Amino acid sequence: MKRRNILKGLTLLPLTGMLAPIKSLFAGTKVDKINPLTVSSEFGIAPSIFETIGVEPIINCRGTFTIIGGSIERPEVRAAMEAASKNFVQYDELADGIGKRLAEITGAEWGMVSAGCAAGMKHVTAACLTGGNPEKLIRIPDLTGFDKTEVIIPRSSRNTYDHSIRNTGAKIIDVDSMQELESAFNSRTAMIYIMAYDESQPGQAMSLENIVKAAKPHKVPILVDAAAEVLTIPNIHLQRGADLVVYSGGKAICGPQCAGLILGRKDILMSAWQASSPHHGPGRDNKVGREEMMGMLAAVEAWTTRDHASEWKTWLSWLELISKKLSTISGVITSVFEPTELSNKSPVLTVSWDPEQFNLTGDEMAEELGRKKPRVAIGSGFSNGKTSINITTGQMQPGNEKIVADRLHGVLTQKRSPKNTTVEKPSADLNGSWDATIEFFSSTSQHNLFIQQDGKWIKGSHKGDFSTRELMGTIEGSNIKLRSVDGHTADNITFLFSGTVANDAFEGSIYMGEYRTAKFTAKRSEFKMKPQDIVIPGGPPLAT
């Protein structure tokens, strides 16, 4: 599934840093020039605040992933947030002032700051469902009696973040073509949501322009999710006909991690603000403070004066330093990719090698760097017999490049023995059906595993709480590894079982990625089917 990260063919569009500077409201605000780099004190830098509670910080060579902090806030953002924390203000007046100023900066009709991009999607959806009517607003997610109850989404735009739309109670109408989209319009259609990605580009069957043309006669607003994109002024999505566009504050714009930016139609954004905290109703749980609101505005102001070309050259210089260090190792190949799309836009260094020569894969390298000090988050891959890692620069900080270069060089030059390819004979026959008790943080579930074993290899099925999916894995000696994926439209959960067999049972842990780890115990099913002959009738039944 695409992750808000692909939007190609727009290289000629201006970035705001190329525009004439706009006089900033924050021009007189004192900016703290403290270097935000925080790594272990063994590199000559004071311990980070995270280390005071036993949490080791990470050098981010991965990108603007929320799970590792998104982006580093600009100094102007921190200064604005600090200044905003010193006074009280009426929030509706604040929202109006920010909306007007964002319109002045970006050229959009209006602007709004939300508690993150997903929260912004939720508020816009609520606005389109209610039309700003608070009597409807307080009833969400019960849409009984509502005129507008449906949101159309191209199936290729479905993603895990559209939970924020579903949380309003709206019925999602999936479409796969323009014909299906046009047939989906009715009096209940509240909104169309699309992601900014390949299939929405000009020339594509379901381009934004084609969707706009279809939606206009029905007066259905269109929301574009551009979460990880760089900001364009004037805004490309609004120019192409979208009614609203939403960004993450904690990604390319380098604003507050818990803020989002929405630009577009004032009438809908006024209703969206009504659906946001501090107002009561379904958006109260998405509170955005005055500090984040002014910090997000400061980030947009700063975006218009940042030297984006200089930033790009700096990022390339860091990759050049790392590349030169690694190119001294025989068998290591490096290459730099400079993306032109707007989403996740920063240079990437790919480092590849023959895993047989180094007795090391990219996945193993990523684990080595990510789990041991100094911790470095990188990506990994495999293609054409070569394993690889990638270094994304956008959120690296000054000084990181030297640490990363030394760290990678040290791992790649470490002597490793060839991996033991001897397969240990399985210590148990797992063929059959198994009852598995899964222990989550605060509940237990009963699952069923049906296993077919062929030597070390395992295949079968895993019946969970709501679905049955394929199961695959291995058993070597008494060690068992199993994998299944609970897949749904816009969502999936991977179950990675790791356990040991003993006394005709096996137990261990289940790694579930972002959902952390559960425990399991599996025992053979007690239910046994008694053999029975089956008689096939010779014709239609003579009784019902």
**Domain end call among 303, 333, 354:** 303
pLDDT at residue 306 greater than cutoff 80:
yes
Q: Domain end: 381, 412, 443, which one?
A: 412
Query: Tell me, what CATH number does 365's domain have?
Result: 3.90.1150.180
pLDDT score for 543: 84
Q: Is residue 53 part of a domain?
A: no
Distance CA(373)–CA(58), nearest Å, equals: 9
**Which candidate, 127, 120, 121, 130, places its Cα nearest to that of 157?**
121
Residues 355 and 406 in one domain: yes
**Residue 277 scores a pLDDT above 70:** yes
Has residue 46 been placed in a domain? no
Of 444, 446, 426, 425, the C-alpha closest to 435 is: 446
* pLDDT tens-place string over residues 466-507: 999 999 999 999 999 999 999 988 889 999 999 999 988 999
CA 26 – CA 301 distance, rounded (Å): 8
pLDDT band at 5 (very low <50, low <70, confident <90, very high): very low
**What's the pLDDT score for residue 212?**
96
The stretch 350-363 carries a mean pLDDT of 95
Mean pLDDT of 144-148: 97
Q: What mean pLDDT is predicted for residues 295-311? A: 96
> Token pair of 231, please?
């900001």
Confidence check: pLDDT of 38 > 70: no
Q: With bands split at pLDDT 50, 70 and 90, how would you rate the model's confidence at 11? A: very low
- Mean pLDDT across 219-237: 96
pLDDT of residue 47: 67
Provide CB contacts within 8 A for 516, sequence distance 6+: 441
The predicted-structure confidence for 72-114, as pLDDT tens digits, reads as follows 999 999 999 999 999 999 999 999 999 999 999 999 999 999 9
* Domain carrying residue 454: 432-524
When pLDDT is averaged across residues 119-141 and rounded to a whole number, the result is 97
How confident is residue 420, by pLDDT bands cut at 50, 70 and 90?
confident
Q: Is residue 259 in a domain? A: yes
Q: What is the CATH number of the domain that holds 492?
A: 2.40.128.120
Confidence of residue 421 (pLDDT cuts 50, 70, 90): confident
pLDDT the model gives residue 29: 52
Are residues 289 and 184 part of one domain? Answer: yes
CATH of the domain at 166: 3.40.640.10
Lowest average pLDDT, out of 340-344, 400-404, 409-413, 432-436, goes to 340-344
446, 338: one domain = no
- Per-residue pLDDT band for 12 (boundaries 50, 70, 90) equals very low
Indicate if the pLDDT at residue 44 is higher than 90: no
Looking at residues 335-347, what average pLDDT do you find? 92
pLDDT band for 182, please (50, 70, 90 cuts). very high
Q: Which among 120, 97, 119, 80 has a CA at the least distance from the CA of 264? A: 120
Distance CA 515, CA 479 (A): 23
Residues 450, 343 share a domain? no
User: What per-residue confidence (pLDDT) applies to 28?
Assistant: 53
Q: What percent of the chain has pLDDT over 70?
A: 91
β-pair type (58-60, 375-377): parallel
Regarding whether 313 and 453 lie in a shared domain, the answer is no
- Rounded average pLDDT over 435-459: 97
Residue 281 lies inside a defined structural domain of this protein: yes
> How high is the pLDDT of residue 46?
56
- Mean pLDDT over each residue of the chain, to the nearest integer: 90
Tell me what the mean pLDDT of segment 162-184 comes to. Answer: 96
Average pLDDT over residues 456-467: 97
Q: Which of 274, 303, 332 is the last residue of a domain?
A: 303
pLDDT (mean) for 55-75: 94
Q: Give me 354's structure tokens.
A: 């023959």
Residue 261 and residue 121 in one domain: yes
286 with 319, same domain?
A: no
Q: How many residues does the chain have?
A: 544
Q: Is the pLDDT of residue 50 over 80?
A: yes
| Residue 246: inside a domain | yes
Residues 261 and 324 reside in one and the same domain: no
Per the structure, how many domains does the chain have?
A: 3
* Any domain includes 543: no
pLDDT at 85: 97
pLDDT (mean) for 520-528: 89
187 and 299 fall within a common domain: yes
Distance CA 63, CA 379 (A): 9
Q: How far apart are CA 328 and CA 356, in angstroms?
A: 19
Helix (H, G, I), strand (E, B) or coil at 13: coil
If asked whether residues 444 and 408 sit together in one domain, one would say no
Burial of 267 (0-12, 13-18, 19+ CB in 10 A): middle
**Local confidence band at 14 (pLDDT 50, 70, 90 cut-offs):** very low
So what's the pLDDT on residue 10? Answer: 33
275 and 319 in a common domain: no
66 located within any domain: no
Answer yes or no: is 4 within a domain: no
Residue-level pLDDT at 43? 38
Q: Is 101 left (phi over 0), alpha (psi -120 to 50) or beta?
A: alpha
User: What mean pLDDT is predicted for residues 232-247?
Assistant: 97
CA angle at residue 375 from 372 to 380, to 5 degrees? 95
Q: What is the reported pLDDT for 438?
A: 98
**Where does the pLDDT of residue 27 fall: very low under 50, low under 70, confident under 90, or very high at 90 and above?**
low
C-alpha triplet 113, 295, 293: angle, nearest 5°: 30
Higher local confidence (pLDDT), 296 or 2? 296
Are 359 and 294 members of one domain? no
Between 417 and 529, name the one with better pLDDT.
Answer: 417
Q: What is the pLDDT of residue 26?
A: 60
For 424-435, give the secondary structure using H, E and C: CCCCCCCCEEEE
